[in-house]
Each structure stands twice: as C-alpha cells, then as structure tokens.
Amino acid sequence: MKTYPWELTKKEWNAERDRIRPCTAATRFTGRSASEATGNSERLEWLLFGVTQGAADRLNAAARHEIVLTPEEVNDLLDRVNTPVTHRDVIDKAMRDGWNVQAEVLSDYPDLIEQLDNGAKEHALELQQFH
C-alpha cells in the first residue's frame, strides 16, 4: 500500500478519488453509512494532501487580523480553496515540499520531468512512452 497520495499515479489517484466521492442519490442514513462517510472523509483529506490548507490558513489569519491581504491575494486564495484539487496539485505540492516523487508518477507530467536530475529524467521519459 502506498503511504502518501503523491506516490499514486494519476490513474490510481483519480480512481481513489472516484471511489470515495460521496453518493448524491437519496438514501437512508444509517450508523454504517455514517461510519463509511467518516472513513471516506478521512481518506479524502489524506488524498488531497493539504493542498488547500495553506490558502485556508492565510485566509483565517487575515480574518483574525493577524495578517493583511490585498484584495487580489484574497481572490487568489479563495480561488485555491474553492477549486477542486487535482493529482497535479498534489504532485506540485509534494515536489515543493521536497519529496522524491517517482518517475512513474511524473510520467504524466512532461514539464515536471524536466526538473529531475538526468538519471531520473531518462527513466521518466522511458515510462512516458508506455502511457
């Protein structure tokens, strides 16, 4: 089992996201469905890897008058919080945070492959040919 969401390929990440998405059909809410919803919520939080957390933290700090944001900054932060998180967002955050994202995962993102060292870049480009 993969420990971090950025270890999932785009296909795996999207499949997991689809699996845990809440069903919008009207159903009878039971203790079991509540437990399942809680588990899915926790799994979704893991899957999103805190991508929007930094923006939410800055907005909350501004609301508490701890920092001052320009209207443009507020709009940008609101856009980040309100825009659905993608696999690419998770990979971008992992790379910014210094995690070693595997070539197999990066093979969906040619522009990110360019940021790798030569050995990892060659491996990622080889994998990309099979996608």
Model pLDDT for residues 50-83, shown as the tens digit of each residue: 999 999 999 999 999 999 999 999 999 999 999 9
Q: What is the pLDDT of residue 122?
A: 62
Q: What is the pLDDT of residue 21?
A: 80
In terms of C-beta density within 10 A (0-12 exposed, 13-18 middle, 19 or more buried), how is residue 107 classed? buried
Q: What is the pLDDT of residue 115?
A: 76
Domain assignment present for 45 = yes
Count of domains observed in the chain: 1
Domain assignment present for 90 = yes
User: Average pLDDT in the 3-18 region?
Assistant: 96
Reported as type and span, the H/E element at residue 13 is helix 10-20
Give the separation between CA 86 and CA 80, rounded to whole angstroms: 11
In terms of C-beta density within 10 A (0-12 exposed, 13-18 middle, 19 or more buried), how is residue 110 classed? exposed
Residue 44 structural domain = 5-18+30-49+85-128
- Confidence band of 22 (pLDDT split at 50, 70, 90): low
Give the separation between CA 71 and CA 82, rounded to whole angstroms: 16
Domain assignment present for 111 = yes
Domain assignment present for 38 = yes
Q: Which residue has the higher pLDDT, 74 or 131?
A: 74
